[in-house]
Chains A and B, each alone.
Chain A
């Protein structure tokens, strides 16, 4: 019996102690008619570890290992070998939420260190212990901003069209049942950013919050200072959505404009989580201290024990569902503990210098890629604005065809923008992280040149 240690002798002794004649007796409170139909007939028989290993190796190999120039919310970074070696130690891997603080000081201290790193990276006062992913973190940030804005009772939130399209869909799915109105802001089709002056049309109305992505979905840098100051002048809170690796180079949201963003969230994946088909990643969330009681999710604090010795514990639990039930800040229960464990080790191994070098290399590689690709006839770069590590290029042929042919040659050429932005029908979002070398960039350019060559 896989993973069940009982011998026949054990079973008989245990049944005798219970006073039952067979294991089936233990299910006698379930109505007979329901039990009769419950057999799992279409589940295949169990397999040995050896056979499952063969199956999974085949499945994993079947999908190939294309050279990845896609970003669009998930980025191919080097992860130090030690990160997952340590994170998957049984003591981290197979423990649970640290409710029993004395028996969970490892996880709790690690989360406190994580909170310290994230607060500093974003330039904010405090961080929670993570949410599910970047998209759901933004949804929680929107709910939080509406709760936290004491100057406005509005339920309107301004959402630039330059925010990741999937994030906008997730926010819509999660917040609209609470009567929150999301107003989509147009972007500048020349430059690919949200023009601060375009917000003036909302000056008269009451707005709870403005979302500001930096970099935005096109890789373009937004005018974060002007946008932040506009929001604060009009009584709206600012929700920054940031790529954590970019923060090694870019102004932290806590320093945007005069007073900085109020809440910052984003996708933690670039900090040590493998691409892994989109998850598990983690969403990070940081805020100003004044809003901490409106922040959802677990938070770890440092305190002392009975002897005055420092220790760590979950705190501010009065916000959470297990205490507040229907009045909780969110229904969130678990966070993404193990991925945060990896991210914390990842940040410790890179340090400030390493993270900055990674960010700078991504930026430089993407510029070099754009240069190589736009040297091809008919390929141009869209959006004349500073960028971080993604860029939009325009192709002379439909993107689907080109991506398909690149895939046949073992390349993931980028993300097709036309589905979400019909006006960008032949546009491709490309990304070259630090993992790509000059040969990789040249290979991409060579294949694209071949594919676009007039037949």
Chain B
């Protein structure tokens, strides 16, 4: 039932809006006035609370289910991060509050910048990008600004491995570049010979994720960096998989010129049903002048925002104010709770959990996409064989997992591996939970052989069964309309 179906004309919540006699609106001429009220529900506070509480109960979430969604780092979001970021003082701070009334907030932001510099091995960090894709945009825009500032304008091409996340090519195009895909070899590494053949005077840069989206570490990263740099291009690091390498290897040391971090992954800010995220960028020395503003600076006594006046070569602003400050606060609190030792352990236990799951699933009869490789924080299972022999697809396994109380892994990404499940357990899951997941996966494999119809028709126990996506796209119903 929709909230609108609970609605009755003239039902109100008098405690939620000013109730004095109607305000005088004569200063707004009639021609500017709305004639018909908008279609908002007229429900009691209890009806709204109950409706949205019930809706929440139709969701899988980290707080309720193991959520091994590869590439998304669905780790526990500590409640302290939310509670403390929502202290009244933080919520009430207006973005235009003067710096004299902002030192507490700015101190958190400055310290977060410094910690992210250390984590990534970069020379400068700007916190303003509001999501990973915006961080990518900032990174590409800085690469372009760097070449433009040198009048090196023939560099029109960005190299992207064919395993890359879809945001990479989409971002390169938004920055006016054309995209050239680089193939991947059978072991999941970038095809070095193809890379050598592709670089040249047109190369503006390369976008790389390491560990890659294939769940393996790009072993020849130093060679890749050398090839691209020698051709005059820059290296962009997609920080989607930073969780696997905290304290184990720094992107700055690998030769990257610019990186974005997904704080909603590695720094455990909530995914919130699809955002808000935060995608700070870190840069090497030569890209420092181009960082997006504002940036928090400290002269030893006080903190202040650096703006266009301080950074005349900046690529500019990406948000109306200073990015998703509340998300950044949560990341800061998480970083303080973890500290240096805690961060090292994140990578260690994320990797331990992934390698354990990978080994046990392989023993259980699942095929690995890269059986010769270590898992990083995630790994890929391919159901190509089951699809051919039993007609059971990755989608079927994913949907059956929902019945058994597990959120599905990422399906059909990366696009290179047929019938794939990208599985990322994260460091916050206990061994018993992983063992129960393995049992569920074993059960599905048995069902696939004995009662495949159960798997193919899954899910059976959720609020809805498989939905008609074709109908959704052809007969668009994107907003409710009242009857009559």
| Cross-chain contact B352 with A11 (CB below 8 angstroms) | yes
| Cross-chain contact A315 with B276 (CB below 8 angstroms) | no
Most chain B beta carbons < 10 A, residue from A17, A60, A224: A60
Instruction: Tell me what chain B mostly uses at the interface: helix, strand, loop, or mixed.
Output: loop
Instruction: Look across to chain B and name the residue whose beta carbon is closest to the beta carbon of A267.
Output: B320
| Cross-chain contact A17 with B34 (CB below 8 angstroms) | no
Out of B318, B319, B413, name the residue touching A322 (CB < 8 Å): B413
| Cross-chain contact A277 with B174 (CB below 8 angstroms) | no
A360 to B80, CA, bound (A): 38
| Cross-chain contact B40 with A117 (CB below 8 angstroms) | yes
B344 interfacial contact with A, CB 8 Å = yes
| Cross-chain contact B327 with A10 (CB below 8 angstroms) | no
Instruction: Look across to chain B and name the residue whose beta carbon is closest to the beta carbon of A85.
Output: B49
7 A-B pairs with CB atoms under 8 Å apart are: A95-B67, A104-B60, A105-B464, A251-B34, A277-B326, A303-B467, A311-B463
| Cross-chain contact A91 with B167 (CB below 8 angstroms) | no
Q: Which of A47-73 contact B (CB under 8 A)?
A: 47, 49, 52-53, 55-66, 68, 70, 72-73
Q: Which of B3-55 contact A (CB under 8 A)?
A: 3-4, 10-13, 16-20, 22-25, 27-29, 31-35, 37-43, 45, 48-49, 51-55
| Cross-chain contact B338 with A2 (CB below 8 angstroms) | yes
| Cross-chain contact B320 with A164 (CB below 8 angstroms) | yes
A144-152, A166-174, A196-204, A228-236: which one contacts chain B? Answer: A166-174
A237 interfacial contact with B, CB 8 Å = no
Out of A2, A348, A386, name the residue touching B40 (CB < 8 Å): A348
Q: Across the interface, which residues of A come within 8 angstroms of B3, CB to CB?
A: 113, 348
| Cross-chain contact A96 with B67 (CB below 8 angstroms) | yes
Interface residue count for A (Cβ, 8 Å)? 199
| Cross-chain contact A357 with B45 (CB below 8 angstroms) | no
B105 interfacial contact with A, CB 8 Å = yes
| Cross-chain contact A328 with B170 (CB below 8 angstroms) | yes
B155 interfacial contact with A, CB 8 Å = no
Instruction: Look across to chain B and name the residue whose beta carbon is closest to the beta carbon of A138.
Output: B320
A2 to B105, CA, bound (A): 25
| Cross-chain contact B248 with A352 (CB below 8 angstroms) | no
Per-position contact with A for B124-149: 1 when CB-CB < 8 Å, else 0?
Answer: 00000011111011000100100000
Please list the 5 inter-chain residue pairs (A to B) with the smallest Cβ-Cβ separation, ordered nearest first.
A278-B321, A46-B339, A90-B63, A338-B272, A60-B89
Q: Across the interface, which residues of B come within 8 angstroms of A277, CB to CB?
A: 90, 93-95, 97, 102, 105, 321-322, 325-326
Q: Which of B421-449 contact A (CB under 8 A)?
A: 427-431
A356 to B126, CA, bound (A): 39
Q: Across the interface, which residues of A come within 8 angstroms of B33, CB to CB?
A: 249-251
| Cross-chain contact A278 with B320 (CB below 8 angstroms) | yes
Min CB distance B88 to A, Å, is 7
B277 interfacial contact with A, CB 8 Å = yes
Min CB distance B135 to A, Å, is 10
| Cross-chain contact B37 with A352 (CB below 8 angstroms) | yes
| Cross-chain contact A132 with B131 (CB below 8 angstroms) | yes
Q: A30-B248, A93-B270, A279-B323 are in contact. Are A58 and B464 (CB under 8 A)?
A: no
A222 to B408, CA, bound (A): 50
| Cross-chain contact B427 with A331 (CB below 8 angstroms) | no
B193-201, B281-289, B380-388, B473-481: which one contacts chain A? Answer: B473-481
B340 interfacial contact with A, CB 8 Å = yes
B324 interfacial contact with A, CB 8 Å = yes
20 additional A-B pairs beyond A27-B248, A302-B477, A334-B277, beta carbons within 8 Å, are A14-B352, A38-B250, A52-B80, A53-B80, A56-B84, A92-B59, A94-B61, A100-B398, A120-B479, A248-B38, A274-B86, A280-B324, A301-B473, A316-B476, A325-B169, A334-B132, A334-B274, A334-B275, A386-B29, A412-B101
Q: A14-B431, A221-B32 are in contact. Are A279 and B327 (CB under 8 A)?
A: yes
Q: Across the interface, which residues of B come within 8 angstroms of A224, CB to CB?
A: 32
Interface residue count for B (Cβ, 8 Å)? 202
| Cross-chain contact A102 with B462 (CB below 8 angstroms) | yes
A221 to B25, CA, bound (A): 14
A453 interfacial contact with B, CB 8 Å = no
Out of A18, A97, A178, name the residue touching B176 (CB < 8 Å): A178
| Cross-chain contact A337 with B272 (CB below 8 angstroms) | yes
Out of B25, B64, B398, B466, name the residue touching A249 (CB < 8 Å): B25
B394 interfacial contact with A, CB 8 Å = no
Q: Across the interface, which residues of A come within 8 angstroms of B462, CB to CB?
A: 102-103, 105
B190 interfacial contact with A, CB 8 Å = no
Q: Across the interface, which residues of B come within 8 angstroms of A113, CB to CB?
A: 2-4, 480
Out of A44, A93, A275, name the residue touching B340 (CB < 8 Å): A44
| Cross-chain contact A347 with B61 (CB below 8 angstroms) | no
Min CB distance B232 to A, Å, is 20
| Cross-chain contact B325 with A279 (CB below 8 angstroms) | yes
Per-position contact with B for A337-356: 1 when CB-CB < 8 Å, else 0?
Answer: 11101001101111111111
A205-213, A292-300, A443-451: which one contacts chain B? Answer: A292-300
Min CB distance B11 to A, Å, is 7
B100 interfacial contact with A, CB 8 Å = yes
B366 interfacial contact with A, CB 8 Å = no
A454 interfacial contact with B, CB 8 Å = no
| Cross-chain contact A305 with B464 (CB below 8 angstroms) | yes
A315 to B473, CA, bound (A): 6
Q: A326-B169, A357-B17, A412-B97 are in contact. Are A2 and B342 (CB under 8 A)?
A: yes
A30 to B169, CA, bound (A): 26
Min CB distance B195 to A, Å, is 18
Q: Across the interface, which residues of A come within 8 angstroms of B13, CB to CB?
A: 80, 349-351, 354
B335 interfacial contact with A, CB 8 Å = yes
| Cross-chain contact B333 with A309 (CB below 8 angstroms) | no
A166 to B48, CA, bound (A): 35
